[in-house]
Chain A
Amino acid sequence: DGGITQSPKYLFRKEGQNVTLSCEQNLNHDAMYWYRQDPGQGLRLIYYSQIVNDFQKGDIAEGYSVSREKKESFPLTVTSAQKNPTAFYLCASRTGGALNIQYFGAGTRLSVL
């Protein structure tokens, strides 16, 4: 069953703690994306990666870090520098070529304890 798997579904972070959100895809897509969704603000791009071992900052990258060591995986770390991490995080991957369509995972809801 092809798709994008995000884990965990719910995550709690303590003050000063780094947490990592997992995103795995088996769609053989080159490009992957991380978005943050807050009520009334739509989706804002955190980081994206067009290819393995390469990634770029999006609009709200401060306090976040990523890696892209494998095509299938694009984990997002929310660092202690991110002062307002409570949000819904969505991972996406994109078809290549002319079919520029992004497919989304089910999301991870991060809360601060």
Chain B
Amino acid sequence: AQSVSQHNHHVILSEAASLELGCNYSYGGTVNLFWYVQYPGQHLQLLLKYFSGDPLVKGIKGFEAEFIKSKFSFNLRKPSVQWSDTAEYFCAVNAPRGSTLGRLYFGRGTQLTVWP
């Protein structure tokens, strides 16, 4: 089975600080990678995804993530966070082939708190 590790359980930043949230996965084959965000009281939303091609992917609200295959990592970054980025962030991985097609494996989540 695949597993996903998110290194930080809770990150606290001031506005305008830079953000990097770590995500590592354990699976040797081809993967699809995702970051989801859950704002307080809202649906879980897709922030960005990587399927293939350019390993640096850009998502909504100025977020980006870099897929480093050799490190099994998919870290999320934002150069300058805002108070409205306060939310819980989940990394997820999917193996696109095989009988478990479609199911996602999620990390435990990172709660980001941004102080104004």
Query: Which residues does A use to contact B, with CB under 8 Å?
Result: 31, 33, 35, 40-45, 48, 50, 58-59, 90, 92, 94, 98, 100-107
List 6 tightest A-B contacts by C-beta distance, closest first: A104-B44, A42-B108, A43-B106, A42-B106, A42-B109, A31-B102
Number of contacts between A and B (CB, 8 Å)? 54
Give the distance in Å from the alpha carbon of A33 to the alpha carbon of B105 in the complex: 12
Are B9 and A40 in contact (CB-based, < 8 A)?
yes
Would you give the 0/1 interface string for B83-116, flagging 1 where the beta carbon is closer than 8 Å to chain A? 0000000101010100001111011110000000
Nearest CB to that of B4 among chain A residues? A42
Are A48 and B102 in contact (CB-based, < 8 A)?
yes
A31-B102, A43-B90, A94-B102 known; A101 vs B46 contact (CB < 8 Å): yes
Are B9 and A50 in contact (CB-based, < 8 A)?
no
Interface residue total, chain B, C-beta cutoff 8 A: 26
- Contacts A33-B104, A42-B109, A43-B92 aside, 15 further interface pairs with beta carbons under 8 A come to A35-B106, A40-B108, A42-B6, A42-B90, A44-B106, A48-B103, A59-B1, A90-B44, A94-B102, A100-B32, A100-B94, A101-B49, A102-B46, A102-B104, A103-B46
Residues of B within 8 A of A44 (CB): 106
